[in-house]
Structure 1
């Protein structure tokens, strides 16, 4: 944007600042420009549970970069966008460098599109896996397995779910899990009073997202996903799964097409699950 004064034209100054509630409309405009299906509510939720930076010029948001704090050692990053008219000017690098500084030396996780790989590799990120994005209208009638150990969660389950999530991710995420559970529907695997897995389904984007899904094995993950899908017939559903666990062909058999992939990357030390609990589907590609 340019300003005119006394017959002369000046470029408006570019400011890097902390993301605030007033930036949500501008951030939503950016994501719509990128054809990312975020709703205003999705931006508001992301800002509530995390923090971020914006590049602003004369009140206009031209770039965003968000991050979420998982204890003293880890963070995840995402929702990194620069408006098309400003791309190629080093703005993405300025935003991302500011984000890395804000994370305070934590190991940072992110899921990168092909377009972002070069920037992240230059900043010391290394690839460690692949995330498959599945989505579509759920036209198949899904019948959950009739098992007594899969049930809706109760408020009293939250602490055990948070512990299980920490085991599955290798990171302390109690605040994130509590926030997701507060806005979503949660099912658990209950092994005689011991939580052995959980899945959350919530409104997101064009419909619903199923994730996180954490379980002790792939069979448990499928049971939890089926329990959630059984309530979502006719809805648009998205699930982002770790490619190494082999759920993609099964999800496609249910009508949830694999539409894209992202490269899982880390700068620093990758968190490790305790192997008796694993994360099978993400809350979304930004939160992890």
Structure 2
């Protein structure tokens, strides 16, 4: 439908909007959004993941919303509902030249309506935090981005437990889902199955000892193939997290420029891990905010060394 109304923008002035707000519930619109994300990511050197609309649709077919002007996407946002209890908001962007017109506000209202009364989370930069608070969100913590330049394979310690590192795809899938659920606040089996098997995943190692899963991680290429990210990296101890991180670093392909992981600062061990494996905070990107609405979910943050992505939590 076409919306036309007055909205106050970030500086308090009134703007009139005229935009077609659509839920991406058709293949054609999903393909258009996927192409737009890829175009913006390459243009702005933004480390977005491949096929994010495909992944979100597996969890929630009506997760993505766009604002259209003359059939062109000028704004986007997602609210991924994990069943009846949890929603996560991400990929909230408006094209340059269209900011300050209220387009993002209209889409955000739409995704909040989609999330309903679920516990709803998002990651924010410092500039947007107060704006989210005006929409009912409460800051509960901070998050960080760590990066390192790719310099080739890393030296593994002599006691590196090679026998304990196996492909996550070789695990009993139900066991892996149970492990994942300890460190993520919702069940997500369809998503995990697709995430682990995506062609842009370089390595998805698990740490298993005496038949017990102690951790797993995913190393994947971002759009453009010059940045690789860990996400997620879940482990029940610092030692396991470090060994999985080293295994993934050793698998980073030639041609990569940057390796990155995004983490919750609620786990103080993430700083230690970053220092141990040679990552540094990213300056102006360091120090994002974690916000929740309608409560806060329960999960074991002490085992979250890298969260999955900014779009999925």
Match of 2:190 in 1: 175
Aligned positions of 1:148-167 closer than 5 A: 148-167=163-182
Match of 1:112 in 2: 124
Match of 1:231 in 2: 251
Q: CA deviation at 1:250?
A: 3.9
Q: In structure 2, what is the Cα distance between the partners aligned to 1:284 and 1:153?
A: 19
Q: CA deviation at 1:69?
A: 2.4
Tell me which moved more, 27-36 or 266-275. Answer: 27-36
* Structure 1 pair 154–179 and aligned structure 2 pair: CA distance change class (3 A): closer
The answer to whether the 8 A contact 1:77-1:110 is kept is yes
Q: CA deviation at 1:116?
A: 1.7
Partner-residue secondary structure (3-state), 1:86: coil
Q: In structure 1, what is the Cα distance between the partners aligned to 2:93 and 2:169?
A: 37
Partner-residue secondary structure (3-state), 2:105: helix
Aligned with residue 248 of structure 1, among 259, 271, 281: 271
Structure 2's unaligned 5+ residue stretches are 1-15, 25-29
Q: CA deviation at 1:221?
A: 1.4
Taking only aligned residues, the RMSD between alpha carbons, in angstroms, comes to 2.5
Aligned positions of 1:1-288 closer than 5 A: 13-19=18-24, 20-31=30-41, 35-38=45-48, 41-49=50-58, 50=60, 51-139=63-151, 141-144=153-156, 146-147=160-161, 148-183=163-198, 184=201, 185-205=203-223, 206-232=226-252, 234=254, 235=256, 236-243=258-265, 244-252=267-275, 254-259=277-282, 260-261=285-286, 262-274=288-300, 278-288=303-313
Q: In structure 2, what is the Cα distance between the partners aligned to 1:36 and 1:160?
A: 34
Q: In structure 2, what is the Cα distance between the partners aligned to 1:248 and 1:67?
A: 29
Q: TM-score, normalised by structure 1?
A: 0.85
Q: CA deviation at 1:86?
A: 2.1
* Structure 1 pair 138–34 and aligned structure 2 pair: CA distance change class (3 A): closer
Structure 1's unaligned 5+ residue stretches are 1-10
The answer to whether the 8 A contact 1:153-1:188 is kept is yes
Q: In structure 1, what is the Cα distance between the partners aligned to 2:56 and 2:196?
A: 17
Q: In structure 1, what is the Cα distance between the partners aligned to 2:222 and 2:184?
A: 22
Q: In structure 1, what is the Cα distance between the partners aligned to 2:42 and 2:126?
A: 19
The answer to whether the 8 A contact 1:241-1:248 is kept is no
Q: TM-score, normalised by structure 2?
A: 0.79
The answer to whether the 8 A contact 1:76-1:108 is kept is yes
Q: CA deviation at 1:187?
A: 1.1
The answer to whether the 8 A contact 2:166-2:206 is kept is yes
Q: CA deviation at 1:274?
A: 4.9
How many residues are matched?
276
Q: CA deviation at 1:13?
A: 4.6
Q: In structure 1, what is the Cα distance between the partners aligned to 2:33 and 2:166?
A: 39
* Structure 1 pair 162–209 and aligned structure 2 pair: CA distance change class (3 A): same
The answer to whether the 8 A contact 1:212-1:281 is kept is yes
Q: CA deviation at 1:48?
A: 4.1
